[in-house]
């Protein structure tokens, strides 16, 4: 691969040796990549003015390393640092969660410009006055939709028939199941119609419109619990950022 340039958002940072970093980026043009930056740490390092920090929106220049999936990153210029997020522990925790979630469900080199835009728009929304919880739920629903792993809501996830208000949500079956299929998952739980409609509404609308949607407290709580169980089951990886969120919200 020749030298490439792209917008990117930092998902993860790892210190290596005395002066180098490995950054995991989600790029606009190439999907998720890893890049090594040499000589950027320590007294003599070439500081990036925040461009190396998690959630920074950068413009990067990179090229292949032989026999490695880690690119050499020769330039990393900061576009936006999102100061309002970094001044709020809650906002920072939710932004870190979105970055870790995206990192956990995407493979290296799987380009999806819509996913990049979703992450960038979600961070920008979080930088304003929007509820951190609401932004996280919007991000989760939109991400699941873009990656093709949305829960099945319009029909039974087990038999494919249309569902009614008696349907329950099954994590293992991947969505709503009808009354005739409840035996397929004894742990399926009841879900309010308002929660189902909210998910479908968020999935269908463009981001600039969903950003203004409010959510009832009861729906918000059920939505968070349902999506958390669904993501935990299908990701099969415990996200460290969730533990931090529990700590700050319990304090």
Give the rounded percent of residues in the chain with a pLDDT score beyond 90: 77
Average pLDDT over residues 75-81: 94
pTM for the complete prediction? 0.92
**pLDDT tens-digit readout, 136-164:** 999 999 999 999 999 999 999 999 999 99
pLDDT at 75 over 70: yes
Banded model confidence at residue 104, pLDDT cuts 50, 70, 90? very high
Which segment of 20-24, 44-48, 90-94 scores lowest on mean pLDDT? 44-48
Contacts of 117 (CB under 8 A, 6+ apart): 28, 207
pLDDT of res. 43: 42
Taken in order 128, 132, 133, 135, is the CA torsion positive or negative? positive
Mean pLDDT, rounded, of the chain: 91
**pLDDT tens-digit readout, 46-69:** 445 688 999 999 999 999 877 788
Interatomic CA distance for residues 116 and 79, integer angstroms:
15
pLDDT of res. 45: 44
Q: Structural domains in the chain? A: 4-148+196-250 (2.40.50.140)
Side-chain-side CA neighbours of 52 within 13 Å: the count stands at 23
């Amino acid at each position: 691969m020749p030298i490439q340039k792209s917008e990117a958002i930092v998902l993860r940072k790892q210190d290596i040796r005395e002066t180098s970093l490995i950054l995991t980026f989600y790029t606009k043009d190439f999907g998720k990549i890893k890049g090594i930056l040499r000589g950027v740490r320590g007294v003599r390092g070439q500081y990036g003015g925040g461009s190396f920090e998690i959630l920074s929106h950068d413009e990067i220049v990179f090229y292949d390393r032989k026999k490695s999936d880690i690119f050499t990153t020769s330039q990393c210029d900061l576009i936006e640092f999102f100061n309002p997020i970094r001044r709020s522990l809650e906002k920072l925790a939710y932004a870190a969660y979105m970055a870790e979630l995206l990192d956990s469900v995407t493979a290296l080199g799987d380009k999806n410009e819509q996913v990049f835009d979703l992450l960038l728009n979600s961070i920008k929304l979080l930088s304003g006055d929007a509820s951190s919880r609401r932004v996280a739920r919007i991000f989760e629903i939109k991400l699941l939709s873009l990656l093709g792993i949305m829960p099945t809501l319009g029909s039974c996830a087990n038999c494919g028939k249309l569902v009614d208000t008696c349907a329950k949500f099954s994590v293992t079956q991947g969505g709503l199941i009808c009354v005739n299929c409840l035996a397929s998952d004894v742990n399926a739980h009841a879900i309010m119609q308002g929660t189902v409609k909210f998910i479908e509404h968020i999935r269908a609308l463009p981001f600039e419109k969903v950003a203004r949607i409010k959510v009832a407290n009861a729906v918000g709580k059920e939505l968070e619990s349902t999506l958390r169980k669904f993501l935990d089951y299908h990701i099969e990886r415990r996200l460290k950022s969730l533990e931090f969120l529990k700590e700050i919200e319990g304090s």
